[in-house]
Structure 1
Amino acid sequence: MFRHTIAIQPADIDHMGHVNNSVYLKWVQDAVVDYWNSVAPADAVASHLWVALKHEISYLKPTFLQDAVVAEVIAEKVEGARAYFTTIVRRGQDVLSEVKSTWCCLDAASLRPVRLARDIVGRFLPPSA
């Protein structure tokens, strides 16, 4: 599991006094890309881009400006050019949201979908995936 610290900004807060639901999508994108950057070799990072295809978000508890929040990213599987993730947003032990997302890997030069090399997939996924 990869942990990505989230910095909540005043602009993230909506008219109800908590983080707007749309902000969670940015957090998930930042966390997944940060995960990729942490596990992939520099040449793979330079030659691949990631585009989100689908997010399924379960909002469980509100998040507030003063909260210390972390996103836990779990790479579930890779199939062809697609990768599947679960991202859990937490405040301490409290789960604030859970996001299932599907991403497409693109070749940075052509912007076309591309499969990851097996050695990259091996670094990308946990041993049990």
Structure 2
Amino acid sequence: MTWDLPSPFVIDIQVEASSIDHYGHVNNAEYLRWVERASWTHSRHLGLSLEDYRALDRGMVVHRHELDYLAPAFEGEPLQLATWIVVCDGRLTLERRFQLCNVETSRTLLRAQTRFACIELSSGRPKRMPPRFVEVYGNAVASR
């Protein structure tokens, strides 16, 4: 696969019938679910789970999603979704990029970007990232 950036974290996706919309291809909302799955899976891989978020009373919540749909995906197709952390300001925000490719054709089907903000889970208010977030996410920032 030709990825946009080096050293991606990649999840495999097999397009299921439940992902297909009335037009016969993957529903746009499904791509967003896959982006969320890749984000959580990558965070766990880096060593931060939902339990860690709760223990630290902090969470990274979506501030903005941008999804560019480049080509459709269809039932049964094997896909790979790559993600990179591209910005971690060490204070409040984190940005990820995503690239979804068809394994058989290597065609890029989607490019996306998500900006996250750190909040205190108990209040829902913006709060500075705890040192553990800065360490884990900051050390995972991709080189361009």
TM-score bracket relative to the smaller structure = 0.7 to 0.9
Gaps of 5+ in 1: none
- Cα offset for 1:127? 6.3
Tell me which residue corresponds to 1:32. 39
The one-letter code of the counterpart of 2:11 is: H
The CA distance in 1 between the partners of 2:60 and 2:99, in whole Å, is 19
Tell me which residue corresponds to 1:112. 125
**TM-score normalized with structure 2 length:** 0.76
> Does 2:111 match 1:98?
yes
Tell me which residue corresponds to 1:86. 97
The CA distance in 2 between the partners of 1:6 and 1:105, in whole Å, is 28
The size of the alignment, in residue pairs, is 129
Tell me which residue corresponds to 1:126. 141
Tell me which residue corresponds to 2:78. 68
Q: Secondary structure at the match of 1:16?
A: coil
The CA distance in 2 between the partners of 1:105 and 1:3, in whole Å, is 24
- Cα offset for 1:34? 1.4
The CA distance in 1 between the partners of 2:102 and 2:40, in whole Å, is 21
The CA distance in 1 between the partners of 2:75 and 2:128, in whole Å, is 39
The CA distance in 2 between the partners of 1:41 and 1:14, in whole Å, is 34
State the identity as a percent.
23
Q: Secondary structure at the match of 1:114?
A: coil
- Cα offset for 1:105? 2.4
The one-letter code of the counterpart of 2:47 is: A
The CA distance in 1 between the partners of 2:75 and 2:112, in whole Å, is 20
- Cα offset for 1:85? 0.7
